[in-house]
C-alpha cells in the first residue's frame, strides 16, 4: 500500500456505488442512477455510423469540431438573441466538452481560487462539490425550503431568499444554478431570475453565474427560462447544455458550453490542458442531428417533445404507483428533469431496526457491498433506501446524499426516484410494488 497519496477530493464514488452494488446483488430495479431509459434515436445512430465511415476519426480543433460549433450556433442562437441581438459566434462563444460534467469542470476550476466561494442551492448534484474542491474554492449551499401545496397533497420547493441574500458578499465568485434542478426538478421562473440578478448586482457584482441547464428541454407544466438573457446577465454567465441528455446518448459524452468570448476562452484553456479532444465522430454525428430534432418523431412534434412527453407520463405514473404502494409517501412537485423526490419520513415505522442502527444492515455478514458508514445515527432516507432495495426490490437514492453531510443536522426525509424511463420500466415498477 503506497503511503503518501494525497486525499484531495472526497471520494464521492461511494454515493453511487453502494446502491448500484445493492441493486445488482439483490436483483432490484434500478431507479437510482440517472441513466435515461430511452436509447439514442435512429437518425443519430445513422449519422454516427456515417461519420465514422466517412473518416472523422482523428483529432479535431481543440474547441470542438467546426461543423458541430456551427450547428450549435444555429441551434442555440435563437434563445440567446434577446441577450446579444445576433448569432452566437461559433469560434469564440461555444466550447464542446466531454459532457456537461467536463464543461462544469472547466468553468469552475478556472473561475474559483483559494478562498473564493461558489454558492448553490441544496440539495445539489454531488459533483459540484468535488469540482469546487478541485478548484480549491469554497463550496456553500442554501437549502431549499418546502411548503405544502394549496390542497396539501404535495410539497413545493422554494428559495430561501433571506439566507441567499445573506450569503452573498465579496467572497462570492460564482453562483451555480441548475435549471431545471437536480434532484428537485424545480424550474427557474422569470421573476426568480430577476430577483437573483438584482441581488447579485447589489451584494456580489463581481460574481459570475454558471447555469447548468442540461434538462432544459424537460420541463413539465413550466416554461424553460434562461438566466443569460435577462438584463445584462450575458456578460457574466456561462450556460451549459448536454448533447447526451438531449439525444439520449449520455455515454457518448458530448456537452456544450456557451458564454461570452473571455469566459469561453478561459474554459477552453482548461479544456485544452486536461482534455484536448473528445469523441470526434460523436461530435459530427450530433452536429448533423441537431437539425433533425425539429422534425416529427413517433407521432410527436419533435424528438425532444417525444422524450419530454414520455418522461412526463412516466413521472406521473411513477408517483401514482408509489403513492398507491401502501407506503405513506408525500410527493413533491416536480417541474422538470430526470427525477422526483418523495418524502418518506412517515414510513419510519415500516423499516426494520437493522436498517436504522449503525453497522452492517444486510443479513450477509460477509458482504462485499461498500456500505457508507454512519457512526451515531443512520439518516432515515438511507435506512429507507437500503430497506426498500433489499426488501421491496427497487433501488432509489437517499436525498441526503445530495446534501452537505453533517450527520446530526442532515435533512433525511427525501428519496430520489429516476423517472427518465419508458413505459416498460413503469410497468415493472407497478408489478413490483403491487406485490
- Contacts of other proteins in 263-302 (CB under 8 A): 265-266, 268-270, 272-282
- Of 359, 379, 283, the C-alpha closest to 44 is 283
Q: Are 126 and 15 spatial neighbours (Cβ–Cβ below 8 Å)? A: yes
Scanning 102-110, 141-149, 312-320, 390-398 for contacts with other proteins by CB under 8 A, the matching segment is 102-110
CA dihedral 38→42→45→46, nearest 10 degrees, is 180
> Does residue 73 belong to the site contacting other proteins (CB under 8 A)?
no
Closest approach of other proteins to the CB of residue 48, in Å: 6
CA dihedral 169, 171, 177, 183 (to 10 degrees): -100
For other proteins, the binding residue among 7, 375, 406, 408 (CB under 8 A) is: 7
User: Which residue carries 457491498 as its cell?
Assistant: 369
Q: Are 103 and 240 a contacting pair, CB within 8 Å?
A: yes
The answer to the question of residue 58 lying near other proteins (CB under 8 A) is: yes
Nearer to other proteins (CB atom), residue 4 or residue 85? 4
Binding-site string for other proteins from residue 357 to residue 386, where x marks contact by CB under 8 A and - marks none: ------------------------------
Grid cell 464521492 in the structure block, residue: 12
d(CA 190, CA 282): 34
Is 218 or 270 the residue whose CB approaches other proteins more closely?
270
Shortest Å distance, C-beta 434 to other proteins: 28
CA distances from 425 to 29, 285, 301, 318, 429 (A): 8, 28, 24, 10, 6
Stretch 200-239 residues interacting with other proteins (CB under 8 A): none
Identify the residue among 31, 48, 95, 378 touching other proteins (CB under 8 A).
Answer: 48
Residues 6+ away with beta carbon under 8 Å from 342: 319, 322, 329, 330, 331, 332, 414, 415, 417
Q: How far is the CB of 323 from other proteins (least distance, A)?
A: 28
Nearer to other proteins, 193 or 293 (CB): 293
Dig out the grid coordinates for 360 from the structure: 452492517
Question: Which of residues 78, 81, 82, 136 is near other proteins by CB under 8 A?
Answer: 136
The least CB distance from residue 51 to other proteins, in Å, is: 10
Q: Which is nearer to other proteins, 274 or 324 (CB)?
A: 274
User: Which residue number, 267 or 347, has a Cβ lying nearer to other proteins?
Assistant: 267
Q: Can residue 194 be called a binding residue for other proteins (CB under 8 A)? A: no
Q: Please choose, out of 36-44, 215-223, 313-321, 421-429, the segment that lies near other proteins by the rule CB under 8 A.
A: 36-44
The one among 30, 110, 233, 239 contacting other proteins by CB under 8 A: 110
Q: How far is the CB of 371 from other proteins (least distance, A)?
A: 17
**Angstrom distance (rounded) from CA 193 to CA 179:** 11
Among 25, 26, 33, 391, binds other proteins (CB under 8 A): 33
CA distance 332 to 155: 4
Q: Which stretch binds other proteins (CB under 8 A): 49-57, 171-179, 305-313, 388-396?
A: 49-57
Tell me the C-alpha distance between 160 and 386, whole Å.
31
CA-atom Rg of the chain in angstroms: 22
Give the range of 31-39, 79-87, 191-199, 379-387 binding other proteins by CB under 8 A: 31-39
Q: Is 52 in the site for other proteins (CB under 8 A)?
A: yes
The answer to the question of residue 74 lying near other proteins (CB under 8 A) is no
Considering the rule CB under 8 A, would residue 127 count as an interface residue with other proteins?
yes
Separation CA 348–CA 353 (nearest Å)? 10
Cis peptide before 183 (omega within 30 of 0): yes
Q: Is 180 exposed, middle or buried (0-12, 13-18, 19+ CB in 10 A)?
A: buried
Nearer to other proteins, 48 or 187 (CB): 48
Pick the binder of other proteins from 22, 94, 95, 98 (CB under 8 A): 98
Closest CB to other proteins among residues 79, 138: 138
Q: Exposure of 115 by Cβ count < 10 A (0-12 exposed, 13-18 middle, 19+ buried)?
A: exposed
Residue count, binding to other proteins (CB under 8 A): 71
Nearer CB in complex with other proteins: 7/406: 7
Interatomic CA distance for residues 137 and 118, integer angstroms: 7
Q: How far is CA 57 from the centre of its chain?
A: 30
Minimum separation from the CB atom of position 252 to other proteins (A): 6
- The distance of closest approach from Cβ of residue 78 to other proteins in the complex, given in angstroms and rounded to an integer, is 26
Amino acid at each position: 500500500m503506497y503511503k503518501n497519496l494525497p486525499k484531495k477530493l472526497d471520494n464521492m464514488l461511494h454515493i453511487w456505488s453502494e446502491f448500484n452494488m445493492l441493486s445488482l446483488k439483490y436483483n432490484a430495479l434500478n431507479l437510482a442512477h440517472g441513466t435515461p431509459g430511452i436509447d439514442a434515436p435512429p437518425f443519430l445512430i445513422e449519422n454516427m455510423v456515417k461519420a465514422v465511415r466517412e473518416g472523422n476519426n482523428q483529432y479535431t480543433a481543440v474547441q470542438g469540431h467546426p461543423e458541430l460549433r456551427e450547428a450549435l450556433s444555429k441551434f442555440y442562437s435563437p434563445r440567446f438573441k434577446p441577450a446579444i441581438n445576433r448569432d452566437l459566434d461559433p469560434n469564440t462563444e461555444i466550447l464542446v466538452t466531454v459532457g456537461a460534467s467536463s464543461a462544469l469542470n472547466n468553468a469552475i476550476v478556472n473561475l474559483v481560487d483559494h478562498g473564493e466561494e461558489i454558492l448553490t442551492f441544496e440539495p445539489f448534484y454531488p459533483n459540484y462539490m468535488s469540482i469546487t474542491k478541485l478548484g480549491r474554492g469554497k463550496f456553500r449551499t442554501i437549502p431549499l425550503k418546502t411548503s405544502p401545496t394549496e390542497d396539501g397533497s404535495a410539497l413545493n420547493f422554494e428559495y430561501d431568499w433571506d439566507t441567499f441574500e445573506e450569503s452573498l458578499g465579496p467572497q462570492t465568485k460564482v453562483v451555480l444554478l441548475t435549471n431545471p434542478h437536480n434532484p428537485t426538478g424545480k424550474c427557474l421562473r422569470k421573476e426568480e431570475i430577476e430577483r437573483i440578478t438584482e441581488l447579485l448586482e447589489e451584494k456580489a457584482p463581481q460574481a459570475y453565474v454558471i447555469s447548468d441547464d442540461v434538462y432544459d428541454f424537460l420541463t413539465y407544466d413550466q416554461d424553460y427560462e434562461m438566466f443569460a438573457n435577462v438584463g445584462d446577465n450575458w456578460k457574466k454567465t456561462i450556460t451549459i447544455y448536454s448533447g447526451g441528455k438531449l439525444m439520449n446518448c449520455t455515454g457518448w459524452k458530448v456537452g456544450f458550453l456557451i458564454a461570452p468570448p473571455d469566459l469561453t476562452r478561459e474554459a477552453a484553456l482548461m479544456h485544452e490542458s486536461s482534455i484536448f479532444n473528445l469523441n470526434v465522430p460523436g461530435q459530427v454525428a450530433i452536429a448533423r442531428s441537431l437539425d433533425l430534432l425539429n422534425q416529427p418523431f413517433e407521432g410527436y412534434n419533435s424528438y425532444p417533445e417525444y422524450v419530454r412527453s414520455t418522461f412526463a407520463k412516466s413521472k406521473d405514473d411513477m408517483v401514482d404507483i408509489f403513492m398507491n404502494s401502501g407506503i405513506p409517501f408525500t410527493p413533491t412537485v416536480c417541474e422538470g428533469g430526470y427525477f422526483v423526490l418523495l418524502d418518506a419520513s412517515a414510513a419510519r415505522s415500516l423499516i426494520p431496526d437493522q436498517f436504522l442502527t449503525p453497522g452492517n444492515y444486510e443479513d450477509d455478514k460477509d458482504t462485499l457491498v461498500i456500505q457508507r458508514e454512519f457512526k451515531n445515527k443512520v439518516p432515515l432516507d438511507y435506512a429507507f433506501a437500503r430497506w426498500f432495495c433489499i426488501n421491496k426490490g427497487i433501488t432509489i437514492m437517499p436525498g441526503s446524499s445530495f446534501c452537505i453531510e453533517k450527520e446530526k443536522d442532515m435533512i433525511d426525509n427525501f428519496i430520489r426516484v429516476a423517472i427518465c424511463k419508458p413505459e416498460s420500466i413503469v410497468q415493472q415498477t407497478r408489478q413490483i410494488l403491487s406485490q
